Amino acid sequence: MPMDRVNVDTDQITPKQFIKWITREGYGRVLFYDWRYLPGEKPNPDFILNQPRYQGASILLARANFGCGSSREHAPWAIADYGFRAIIAPSYADIFYNNCFQNGILPVILPEAQVDELFRKTEATPGYQVKVDLPLQIVTDASGLNFPFEVNPFRKNSLLEGLDEIGLTLKHVDAIAGYEHTHNPSARQSGGSVDFKQFDRSSN
């Protein structure tokens, strides 16, 4: 889905009136709320997200400085909850870029000329599709397009394994428990311990 606007900020992605919710679920409904809906929450037929040809898109094509503005994590929550798994843009705001990885979204950075080409192809060809291959770090399409991209190896591995910071910590539960057992004798003597399993989001 092509979002052909520069400097799309986090308040446009997830407006401030919705950031008090205590769960990550449901934010897909309010993604780009002020552009997406007319009064009474009627879908605006002129907004790109509501156009039938882009329904079900899992890749968001964007312009420069996407995700600027405040640091709210609700912006990537809304993008992920709607169903986007990757974003392609020439640049991002730093905090938003980092938050994407923490929420299972791959923010691909490509040169502006390549992003322009993707916009042209997307808008000219109904049903146009690209594939973002994270293991190979490449964006391709059926016509032979081949755009490589860079990604931090640690972040790449975390996305491939579906792990956030808590998940990465849980991979080392035994080592952490061993360290506590060795270095915190007072906790051992009092029978105290930490049940790391309670933090395992995959069990929820």
What is the reported pLDDT for 25?
83
- Which amino acid, one-letter code, is at 155? R
What is the reported pLDDT for 175?
64
Which helix (H) or strand (E) segment holds residue 146: the answer is strand 146-148
What is the reported pLDDT for 187?
54
- Mean pLDDT for each consecutive 10-residue tract of the chain (204 residues)? 97 92 86 97 96 96 96 94 97 96 96 98 95 98 97 93 63 61 61 50 41
Query: How many angstroms separate the CA atoms of 170 and 158, rounded?
Result: 13
Alpha carbon 63 to its chain's center: 16
Domain ranges in the chain are 10-151, 165-203
Residue 64 region by backbone torsions, left for phi larger than 0, else alpha for psi between -120 and 50, else beta: beta
Provide the CATH topology of domain 10-151.
Answer: Aconitase; domain 4 (3.20.19)
Task: Report whether 46 contacts 58 (CB < 8 A).
Answer: no
- Which amino acid, one-letter code, is at 164? D
Query: How many angstroms separate the CA atoms of 48 and 36, rounded?
Result: 8
111 Cβ contact list (under 8 Å, min separation 6): 90
